[in-house]
Amino acid sequence: MIRKTVANVEDALQGVENGMTFMLGGFGLSGIPENAISELVRLNVKNLTCISNNAGVDDFGLGLLLQKKQIDKMVSSYVGENDEFERQMLSEELDVELIPQGTLAARCQAAQQGYPAMYTPAGYGTEVSQFKETREFDGKMYVLEKAFKADFAFIKAWKGDKAGNLIFKGTARNFNPLMCGAAKITVVEVEELVEPGELDPNQIHIPGIFVQRIFEGKNYEKRIEKRTVRKK
């Protein structure tokens, strides 16, 4: 059995350099790789391209990298609750590629499965399709979208074993499974790391073949992006 465990986040991020392209799992603040993001902040790597559903909030998640001007380009489906992301985008300090959320997911999956590109009807006839190849299938127009190319994918899972098999929990599943294996190196942080054979095979969402490095994270905050409570 191939063991893919590393001792800590510092070892997991060996090889990270300026100018790289990263995929980061999560939706809002749900299921984000908190430990990996904190380490990227500490390493102070710059000129990054980050592919993620959004950029968290001002003081958490990818917002921490935006505050330090470590990100040159964001590839996302929406701005979300991050005022600093909005400010940098409107002031043109940050290069932003906003794409339909389904297209974001499909381009991740294309990279994961080894397809160079895929056709989608989303965005045809809008700015999204400008300068892109279009083609008609059965009377409907489609836009050719290329698979993402990334150096690292940083993933958060609930449980994993030392062979890299993963289980996600609830809404934290989101973009995380689609990004596993979609980059040159996939780094996974889990809340609980167990021995091979301890996970129920019927519950595994992603097999270890898609994972290069895995470690047990710590000190998860699991913030809620926008809390709504019922009146008493």
Domain ranges in the chain are 9-115+149-214
Kindly state the average pLDDT of the residues 198-214.
97
Distance of CA 211 to the CA centre of its chain: 14
pLDDT tens across 88-131, in order?
Answer: 999 999 999 999 999 999 999 999 999 999 999 999 999 889 99
Query: What digits encode the pLDDT tens for the residues 60-94?
Result: 989 999 999 999 999 999 877 788 888 999 999 99
| Cβ-based neighbours of 82, under 8 Å, separated by 6 or more | 54, 55, 56, 57, 58, 62, 63, 66
> Do 19 and 48 form a contact (C-beta atoms < 8 A)?
yes
The rounded distance, in Å, linking the Cα atoms of 51 and 77 is: 9
pLDDT digits (tens, 9 = 90+) for 174-195: 999 999 999 999 999 999 999 9
Q: Tell me the pLDDT band of 40, cut-offs 50, 70 and 90.
A: very high
Pairing relationship of beta strands 213-216 and 21-24 according to DSSP bridges: unpaired
pLDDT at 1 over 70: no
Residue of 101, 96, 68, 63 whose CA lies nearest to 82: 63
Q: Over the range 123-153, which residues count as b (16 or more CB within 10 Å of their CB) and which as e?
A: bbeeebbeeeeeeeeeeeebbebebbebbbb
CATH of span 9-115+149-214: 3.40.1080.10
Other C-beta atoms closer than 10 Å to the C-beta of 40 total 26
Environment class of 169 (CB within 10 Å of its CB; exposed 0-12, middle 13-18, buried 19+): middle
Q: Residue range 29-50: average pLDDT?
A: 96
- For residue 2, what pLDDT band results from cuts at 50, 70 and 90? confident
